[in-house]
Amino acid sequence: QYFKDVVIAEHHLGFKVIVDWVDNHTSNDNTWIDLHPDFYLYDENSIIINPHGWADVSQLDYTNSNMRKAMIDAMKYWIIACDIDGFRCDMAHLVPLDFWAAAKLALIDVKPGLFWLAECEAIEYHSVFNATYTWKWMHASEDNLRANLNVDDYMVVLNNYTETFIPEALRVYFTSNHDENSWNGTEYEKYGEAAEMFAVFSCTWNGLAMIYSGQEMPNYKRLKFFEKDHIEWSGIFSLHDFYKILLTLRKKNKALRAGDQGVITKKIPTNFDEKIFAFQRKIDNQSIVVILNFSEFITEVNLIENLGKHRNIFNGEVYDLNESSILTTGRFGYHVFEKVDG
């Protein structure tokens, strides 16, 4: 009942609620192991397989049609009982695509408009899923930063995404999540001073922004994975306004729509293209201009283009962004501008 109450409260606030759904495997003490042992895959010694060396889980058998039906029935339960709005599907690429297609078809009549998020980067899975993770970008951005590479090196991944994924595919950008935090470290371990800059990118590039628990504080703690480990809430939320401003901009400005083919996203030339990543996103009369400094030096940035009057969303100052304007950008700093009328 508590979870039902949470969903009702979130809906009243205008939120959608999706649940984490693990279809590839179950825990080793799942009731299906006793009730439906044929739902699992076994090795040559008749022992249930632990997939990918994950000793704490048991591999399901997707050649078993009864197991597939039971899985879809379980998904139906959470929609009917709790009125959830979709699924975040764990390691979705490990489950056959035809199962996801069958599940989506079976659930359309239960609740139209469900949101399907896949924890994978398999292009073909967009035939079912609305959104997928951008693991390649996250790893490349960390590696490129450590190696002090130039903007063109970052653009390799982004250009590949543009060229290979369907235009309406929603790509999810992030600087941290539960796996990353536990296994590879917080965003500050990965990005250091550049963590906020990459968060700005995640919130403004063509995609959806994902924020992990505690990032609004921020959380500097690497959380344990296999046991309960509390975030050390300080009561001080230094980045609350930072994320609120960015997400409010996303909500109200059509230029930041993800997967909208009417939105034009283009890189803007600057006087220092090696380390300054400047881009504009625009649709109709709405425009967002973002400047990211990928260097550890304070830089005077000159945009080699006339873009008109824009307001800095963080301090409210209005600038005429043209070929003669100079913007001081701190080390690993950023600017986000929104076009003003007139």
* Ranges in the chain, pLDDT < 50: none
Q: For residue 51, is the peptide bond before it cis, meaning its omega torsion is within 30 degrees of 0?
A: no
- What pLDDT score does 342 carry? 56
Contacts of 337 (CB under 8 A, 6+ apart): 288, 289, 290, 310, 311, 312, 313, 319, 321
Nearest to 67 by CA among 37, 90, 108: 37
Q: How far apart are the C-alpha atoms of 223 and 210, rounded to whole Å?
A: 18
- What pLDDT score does 341 carry? 81
- What pLDDT score does 226 carry? 87
* Number of CB atoms found within 10 A of residue 218's CB: 22
Q: How far apart are the C-alpha atoms of 163 and 219, rounded to whole Å?
A: 35
Q: Please tell me the pTM assigned to this model.
A: 0.95
17-43 burial, b at 16+ Cβ within 10 Å, e below that, comes to bebebbbbbbeeebebeeeeeebbeee
- What pLDDT score does 145 carry? 97
